[in-house]
Amino acid sequence: MFALPAICDNCNTVFASSFVGGPGVTMIVTGSKSGPCPVCGSLGSVPDGTYDIINDIEATLNVDNGKDVFKLQRILNTASKQDSISSIQNRIKKETPQYESIIDAIEYFFTRTKNTLAAIATVSTLIFGVIGVIPDKSNSDENSTIKNQQEVIKEQRNVINDYKVQNESLKNKNTNEGKR
């Protein structure tokens, strides 16, 4: 079981709400608030909808038992305000094609929030809630554990590199705008 995400009405931070669900559970949420936001203390809205989408996310991640979920997380975490859903979809298709149907969940929450980053953060939160309750079907031997840890480290390095590229791009943009 895990908490559904809420989006702060004041600062747009996505945080765990007090509504708990999980795979196999269908929840219908309408006009629900939760809080306080861990950043500013305001209330947040749980996106309206039928949360049977959790089952779709679980089915998608079960394709490879969440093997490349950290790559998917990197794609979602490095999305910026300028990214469109189609550009994110293209990255998912290129780097983690087995998770392509995750874009349906992003589009679903985008229609409710009208905010690309909030939709991505909501889906990201749901992915890691679901992955936390999927039983690990891989070998639990020491080599498998080491391989998983190495994959996590590799993806964390990729996240750092992606942020470096984004920061450099922002610096260049700000420098060019300052020269005008």
61-81 pLDDT, tens per residue?
777 777 788 888 888 888 877
Give 31's Cβ-side CA count (13 Å radius).
Answer: 0
Write down the domain spans for the chain. 2-137, 139-180
- The rounded percent of the chain whose pLDDT value lies above 90 is 9
Q: What is the pLDDT of residues 148-165, one digit of tens each?
A: 656 666 666 666 666 667
* Whole-prediction pTM: 0.58
